[in-house]
Copies of this chain bind each other. A is one copy, B any other.
C-alpha cells in the first residue's frame, strides 16, 4: 500500500497515521471505505500488528476513521464545523512555514503563485469530486 522508513526518527505508527491522513484528506480513500485489516497490513508491511493497531487507534482518536469490532476500520466522513481549533493550529503552522520560506529567500510573489496554483488544481479539497 505504501512505504515505511524504518530508520526514520519518526515512529512507524506515526508514519502510518500521516500516510492514511494524507489519503483521506486528499480523497484518495473515500468516506466509509474500509482500511486494510490490522493483521493483513501488518503482514504486508512486515510490521507487528500491535503497531498497526496503535496507528488505527490514533487515527480514530483524531477523527479520521472509525472502527467496528468484528467488521473493520473505515474512513470517517468529514464533518463540517467543530474544526475551529484545528484550523487555528493549521494557520499557525502556515505562518511558520511562510516565514521560513521568506527567510530562505523565497519572494512573496513566488509563495502566492505557488498556493494559487495548488488551489486552482483543486488539490486536497472535495473540488475534484
Q: Given contacts A96-B22, A97-B94, A111-B119, are A125 and B104 in contact (CB under 8 A)?
A: no
The complex places the Cα of A102 from the Cα of B120 at a distance, in Å, of 12
Chain B residues in 8 Å Cβ range of A26: 99
Q: Of A38-46, A65-73, A78-86, which stretch is located at the interface?
A: A78-86
Minimum distance in angstroms from A1 CB to a CB of chain B: 19
Q: Residue A98 contacts which of B22, B83, B105, B119 (CB distance < 8 angstroms)?
A: B119
A91 at the interface (CB under 8 A from B): yes
Pairwise interchain contact A80-B99, C-beta atoms closer than 8 A: no
Tell yes or no: A6 within 8 A of B by CB.
no
**30 residue pairs bridging A and B, Cβ less than 8 Å apart:** A22-B96, A26-B99, A78-B103, A78-B104, A81-B105, A86-B104, A87-B104, A87-B106, A90-B104, A93-B97, A94-B98, A94-B101, A94-B115, A95-B118, A97-B97, A98-B119, A98-B123, A99-B123, A99-B125, A100-B124, A102-B123, A102-B127, A103-B125, A103-B126, A108-B119, A108-B125, A111-B119, A112-B115, A112-B116, A112-B119
Report which A residues bind B (CB closer than 8 A).
22, 24-26, 78, 80-81, 83, 86-87, 90-91, 93-106, 108, 111-112, 114-116, 118-119, 123-127
